[in-house]
Amino acid sequence: MSTATTHPVDLSVVRLNERAILIGNIKMATIFESGISRRALIAAAAGTGLLGLRFANAGETATPDESADGMMGLVSIYKLGALTLHCYMAPGSSAAVTTQIVETASELHIIDTQFVQALATEVRAYIDSLGKPIAGVYLSHWHPDHVLGGSQFSDLPYTTTAEISKDCESNQQTYLKRKETFKDDTPLVLPKGTMQLGVNSWDGLQVVINQVTDCESEHALTFHIPEAGLMIVQDLMFNNAHAFPLGNQTNWISALNDVRNTEGLRLLGCGHGLPATTGAIADSIAYLEFQKSVFGTEKDAEAAIAALTKKFPNFDGQSSLRFISALYK
Ligand SMILES: [Zn+2]
């Protein structure tokens, strides 16, 4: 099984497994369109187990803000000096994938667009409710769980780097197949590859954008805002959540060590799970080390999933574990 850790998995292989996971969301989207009341929608969602999502053990993460109760996703809000981070996190059935909203004095900057339209619509409504202009939407990496909600942001400047734009272009078939599975007939909206790495200014705040190579995905962005002690690392970290068994764990761990060695960090925005403090980086590294060892020793996907679940019993994002079956084919 050693090849599994060096070659990224073709995500389309596990399409069928994901259909089962996302049935709940598709149902909810359908209910939404039928004009049923919000109260009934919430009751229906509660019946599918998709509401009331909380990590069993939030560990060192801040307490989520309760004001957004009644939404399918969970919004947590962090005041960090000159900026406010609003983290929108999908339910576990949509892999607890996040959209990060950075609010400065007079504008908003958005990172990643969700997986399914029902959740992308919800996060866009939340963003619009903040009442500030959206200066930009950015994509952290090409994976479908961060990209497919793009059609809810098609009226805005939406960018990434030239390399990630290329990753997106070469995975168009994966996106289209996934949208078909979800019965999602919105247009596929991809970002322009015009983003500049290095020091950027968001409403006067210094934002250092860095691109890591060959970690969880081929190319991935981190956004460091030193004045706020914030780094948004997206899929470099799965906080209290199972990580996708993808990419190059050795490089990935080394990138996490670079984050750990960054001075002055107070909060990390993660691609899956709630924002974390820096203490959680060690947990992420331990998870990746254990994941790597499990794929080397366990004889089949079931045994590997059982070993990971036993070692990390309180982790969310169980749907990510289904990807393991593709490694053993
Ligand atoms: Zn992801």
Q: How far is the CA of 266 from the centre of ligand 1 (A)?
A: 22
What three-state secondary structure class fits 154? Answer: coil
Residues of the chain below pLDDT 70: 1-70
What's the 145 CA to ligand 1 centre distance in angstroms?
A: 6
How many angstroms does the Cα of residue 37 sit away from the middle of ligand 1?
Answer: 31
Residue 60: per-residue pLDDT: 25
- Taking alpha carbons only, the member of 159, 126, 121 closest to residue 140 is 159
Interval between CA 204 and ligand 1 midpoint (Å): 29
3-class DSSP state for residue 120? helix
Q: How many CB atoms lie within 10 A of CB 201?
A: 8
CATH code of the domain in which 40 resides: 3.60.15.10
- Cα 40 to ligand 1 centre (Å): 30
**What is the C-alpha to C-alpha distance for residues 326 and 9, in angstroms, rounded to an integer?**
7
What are the pLDDT digits (tens) for 177-221? Answer: 999 999 999 999 999 999 999 999 999 999 999 999 999 999 999
Spacing, Cα 80 to ligand 1 middle (Å): 25
Report the C-alpha gap between 116 and 122 in whole angstroms: 10
Q: Are 156 and 136 in contact (CB under 8 A)?
A: yes
Collapsing DSSP to helix, strand or coil, 60 comes out as: coil
Distance CA(212)–CA(195), nearest Å, equals 15
How many angstroms does the Cα of residue 61 sit away from the middle of ligand 1? Answer: 19
Per-residue burial over 205-231, b if 16 or more Cβ lie within 10 Å, else e, is bebebbbbebbbbbbbbbbbbeebbbb
Geometric angle at alpha carbon 149, from 308 and 7, rounded to 5°: 45
- How far is 274 from 75, CA to CA, in rounded Å? 9
Measure 198 CA to ligand 1 centroid, in angstroms. Answer: 23
HSE toward the beta carbon, residue 247, CA cutoff 13 A:
24
Supply the pLDDT for residue 283. 92
pLDDT value of residue 22: 30
Four-residue CA torsion sign, 26, 29, 33, 37: positive
Ligand 1 mean position, distance from CA 83 (Å): 25
pLDDT of residue 70: 66
120/73 Cα distance (integer angstroms): 10
- Ligand 1: distance of its center to the CA of 328 in Å? 21
What is the rounded (10 degree) CA torsion for 57, 247, 86, 68?
-50
In the block, which residue shows the tokens 């509660």?
46
Distance 317 CA to ligand 1 centre (A): 10
Burial 118-152 (b: 16+ CB within 10 A, else e): bbbbbbbebbeeeeeebbbbbbbbbbbbbbbbbbb
The helix/strand/coil state of 260 is: helix
Question: What spacing in Å lies between the alpha carbon of 220 and ligand 1's midpoint?
Answer: 11
Q: Distance (Å, rounded) from C-alpha 199 to C-alpha 206?
A: 7
Give residue 245's pLDDT. 85
- Other CB atoms within a 10 A radius of the CB of residue 39 amount to 9
Tell me, in angstroms, the distance from the centre of ligand 1 to residue 36's CA. 31
Does the predicted model carry a pTM greater than 0.75? yes
Q: Which domain holds residue 184?
A: 2-327
d(CA 144, CA 210): 21
User: What total number of domains does the chain contain?
Assistant: 1
Q: How many residues does the chain have?
A: 329
CA 230/CA 252 separation, integer angstroms: 20
Å from CA of 107 to ligand 1 middle: 26
Q: What is the structure's pLDDT at 113? A: 98
CA 318 to ligand 1 centroid distance, Å? 13
Distance in Å, CA 272 to ligand 1 centroid: 6
Ligand 1 centre and the CA of 137: distance in Å?
A: 17
